[in-house]
Every structure is written in C-alpha cells, then in structure tokens.
C-alpha cells in the first residue's frame, strides 16, 4: 500500500499563504515529545490585502502505521476564516465556508483551493449581502 498524502509543516503552509500575498505568522505547538503542552502541532495566521484573514491549525499528528512508531505526519489542517478579527463565513456564491466559519480536515490541495478563493474575495460582497438579507 502506497500513501499519497502530502505532509504539511508550519513553514510549508506559511509559504503557500505568502505566495498568495498574505502577511503570515507561524507558531509551532506540539513537539516530537508527547508531553508538549499545546494541543496543536502548528498554527499559521495570515492576513490578505483584501482584509480577509485565515487561521490554519494542524491539531495533531496522524500516523501511517498501526504501532505509531513511524510515519508521523501532519497531512490535514483546519482553517478558520476571519473578517475584521472575527470568525465569518464567506458570502453566498462560494464553494467553501457557506454558513460555517471553519473548514476541517483539509489536505494540501484543499488548503490551496481555499487560499485562492479567500485572496480573491471582494469584501464589498459582505456589505451588499448584509443589506439584502442574504448574509
């Protein structure tokens, strides 16, 4: 059996966001030791030029073998969407963040898809949809 996952690190997620034009802050959490105090492996915060923000968290390592001795990776992340410093869904018409402010269990391809979407959001859509009652 061949695994087709792509491992993500705080640095690789930060690079994806930087390439999309975001300002990025990276923080590692859980270390290689089980006794590390934080519940996450890493988190990355990003702010895009359009004012939208993202908080990407790898909550725990996944294991690729039954005894959890090898194959320890982060191949899935959770993404929270922010606008004006508060959690928010995307305006109607997008494939993601519809009625929710968090997307969970994303692989690298899913993360890249969301980054592309968020960096292109016209924030005036929020005002328009708030005025029409759609948001």
Alpha-carbon separation of residue 80 from 34, 96, 99 (angstroms):
26, 11, 12
- What is the spatial distance between Cα 59 and Cα 52, in angstroms, rounded to a whole number? 22
Is 3 contained in some domain?
Answer: no
Is 1 contained in some domain?
Answer: no
CB burial of 18-29 (b: ≥16 within 10 Å; e: otherwise) equals: eebebebebeeb
Is 5 contained in some domain?
Answer: no
Is 39 contained in some domain?
Answer: yes
pLDDT for res 32: 55
Domain residue limits at 59: 10-132
Among 87, 79, 84, 82, which Cα is nearest to 114's? 79
Is 24 contained in some domain?
Answer: yes
Q: What is the pTM of this model?
A: 0.80
3-class DSSP assignment, residue 87: strand
Tell me the pLDDT tens digit for each residue of 69-115: 555 567 789 999 999 989 999 888 888 888 888 999 898 999 999 99
Is 70 contained in some domain?
Answer: yes
Tell me the pLDDT tens digit for each residue of 19-45: 999 999 998 765 555 555 555 678 899
3-class DSSP assignment, residue 8: coil
Helix (H) or strand (E) holding 44: strand 42-47
Number of domains observed in the structure of the chain? 1
Is 51 contained in some domain?
Answer: yes
């Amino acid at each position: 059996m061949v695994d087709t996952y792509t491992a993500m690190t705080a640095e690789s997620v930060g690079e994806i966001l930087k390439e999309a034009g975001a300002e990025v802050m990276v923080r590692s959490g859980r270390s290689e030791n089980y006794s590390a105090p934080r519940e996450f492996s890493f988190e990355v915060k990003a702010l895009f030029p359009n004012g939208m923000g993202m908080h990407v968290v790898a909550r725990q390592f996944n294991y690729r073998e039954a005894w959890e001795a090898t194959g320890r990776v982060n191949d899935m992340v959770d993404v929270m969407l922010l606008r004006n410093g508060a959690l928010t869904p995307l305006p109607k018409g997008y494939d993601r963040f519809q009625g929710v402010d968090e997307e969970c269990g994303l692989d690298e391809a899913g993360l890249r898809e969301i980054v592309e979407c968020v960096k292109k959001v016209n924030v005036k859509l929020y005002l328009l949809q708030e005025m029409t009652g759609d948001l």
